[in-house]
Structure 1
Amino acid sequence: MASCGDTSTGAPALRELAALLQLASPALPIGAFSYSQALEAAIDAGLVSDAESARRWIASGLDLLAGGDAVLLLRQCRAWHSHDMAAVSQCNDTLLAWRESSELRLETEQMGGSLARLAQDLQWGGPELRARLAELKPIALPTAYAYAATALGIDEVHALTAWLYSWLENQTAAALKAIPLGQVAGQRILYGLREAVSQAVQRTRDCADEDISTFAPMLGVLSSRHETQYSRLFRS
């Protein structure tokens, strides 16, 4: 068993870990902090009002992602790796079509475009692959994330896990601001949903075509309401 003093981990694995930490960091300049994905509207409607209701809301969101966006993200990691641009483009079009409101559509386009530009600026991936990336406009966030993970040599399951955890972290941060919650309550949510992230990863990996679903009418209604909400902290 490895310990804190173990030095046997190879350099390639450490490079992958460092790349993964950068890609999953809240400091990544793609604007994730400015979106709540209808959580703010749920708070305004009284559906989320404390730490426990926030935990339930976030857990349900993880489950929704595991059977929808995350499935296509995983497939796009494989498609980018094999240079299958037809599959990448088809998944990207599907992800954009899945957005149920103008705010959710603008969110994935803005964050996806920002990540794609960052990948170009930092020259992640070879020239040919970057040229293919530049052709995808508009680009959904999972498409750009799958590209970045592939270009940085990150294992697809590690990339998927980090993406889901980043979503969890962003939702928790939104709850801290909008409910509001204390920092310790936020950490309890993150700690308590670690197993849910693991389960979401497994569900995504096992998801068959006929099981893919993004059916969440309440999310669509709340997101639409958020567009005209009187007071807002977030863009979605």
Structure 2
Amino acid sequence: MSAALLSLVQWLSPAFPTGAFAYSHGLEWAISEGEVRDAASARRWIADVLAFGAARTDAILLAHALRGHDPEALSDLARALAPAAERLRETEEQGAAFAATVAALTGRDLPPRPLPVALGQAAAPLGLPVAEVLALMLHAFAANLVSAAVRFVPLGQTEGQATLAALHPLIGNIAAESAEAPLDALGSAALRGDLAAMRHETQEVRIFKT
């Protein structure tokens, strides 16, 4: 395994200090309302976010960041596409933490940006295949939501791992498609997930930031 790939795996690891464990992407509200209550409903919810929601949008933004598209323009797009205040908070806080940590490790100048743009800027010099970077990012995204479901539904650890494994084919397909997608393909249709993020903002009892 190459040093470049190992660096990317480290950056996307749950141990990397972006605070990803504290964000549920609206899933906490869906669990509290009983819409996500077991492994099957968790898998459906996460699959929809991957295929039709912020994960796909992030993948397309990441692909263009890896290819050197203007990071300021991509950052503006990322912010504009956030459908709720908490979604904006999530991408900006994680992106800032990610950029600061990679900058400290590498000595590079990496300003705070929304997470997919920050990741693209950091990973571009690694020279890895775009679809491979996207797949690992999507896997980390899905793994974080599965972890939230394991803790809060709650699911058993084995159920959680089976849920994540069942999403692997979808992750591969989205990565391959997003790697070649133009910016015109950006958009989201995961409306229930967006509403969950909005409703989480006023949820009285909360464990997660989003």
Q: TM-score range by the shorter chain?
A: over 0.9
Residue number in structure 1 paired with 2:72? 89
Query: How far 1:193 sits from its partner (Å)?
Result: 1.0
- The TM-score, its normalising length taken from structure 1, stands at 0.83
Q: Does the aligned pair in 2 maintain the 1:59–1:193 contact within 8 Å?
A: yes
Call closer, same or farther: CA 1:124–1:152 in 2, change over 3 Å: farther
1:68 counterpart SS class: helix
Q: In 2 relative to 1, CA 109–209 (structure 1 residues): closer, same or farther, beyond 3 Å?
A: closer
1:48 aligns with: 36
How far apart are the structure 2 equivalents of 1:101 and 1:66? Answer: 15
Partner of 2:67: 78
Equivalent pair of 1:149/1:156 in contact (CA under 8 Å): no
Kindly indicate whether the alpha-carbon contact (under 8 Å) linking 2:60 and 2:181 is maintained by their aligned counterparts in 1: yes
Residue by residue, what CA displacement relative to the aligned partner does 1:152-172 show, whole Å, maximum 9, x if unpaired? 443322211110000010010
- Distance change (3 Å), C-alpha of 1:66 and 1:202: farther
Q: Which residue of 2 aligns with 1:60?
A: 48
Task: Name the structure 2 match of 1:4.
Answer: none
Q: CA distance change for structure 1 residues 124 and 185 in 2, over 3 Å: closer, same or farther?
A: farther
Once residues 177 and 2 of structure 2 are traced to their aligned partners in structure 1, the CA distance between those partners, rounded to angstroms, is: 27
Provide Cα deviations, 1:111-168, integer angstroms capped at 9, x if missing partner: 000111112211254xxxx2xx33xx5x100011111212444332221111000001
Matched-pair contact (CA < 8 Å) for 1:112–1:142? yes
The 1:209/1:123 distance shift into structure 2, 3 A limit, reads closer
Moved beyond 4 Å, runs of 4+? none
Residue 106 of structure 1, aligned match among 89, 96, 104: 89
Q: Count matched residues.
A: 209
Q: 1:163-202, aligned counterparts within 5 Å?
A: 163-202=137-176
Of stretches 64-73 and 175-184 in structure 1, the one that deviates more from structure 2 is 64-73
Match of 2:124 in 1: 150
Partners of 2:47 and 2:167 within 8 A in 1: yes
Q: Who wins on radius of gyration, i.e. which is larger?
A: 1
For residues 50-83 of structure 1, give each alpha carbon's deviation from its aligned partner in whole angstroms, at most 9, with x where no partner exists. 100000001111102464221111001111xxxx
Deviation readout 1:193-236 (Å, 9 max, x if unpaired): 11111111122124344432123332222111111212211100
Q: Which of 10, 34, 37 is residue 22 of structure 2 equivalent to?
A: 34
Q: Summarize the Cα distance change of 1:229–1:197 in structure 2 as closer, same or farther, 3 Å threshold.
A: same
Pairwise CA RMSD of aligned residues? Answer: 1.7
Any unmatched runs of 5+ in structure 2?
Answer: none
Percent of aligned pairs sharing the same letter: 34
Return closer, same or farther for 1:67/1:22 CA change in 2, 3 Å cut-off.
closer
Offset, 1:179? 0.4
Inter-CA distance 118–72: structure 2 relative to 1 (3 Å threshold): same
Which residue, out of 217, 221, 225, partners 2:195?
A: 221
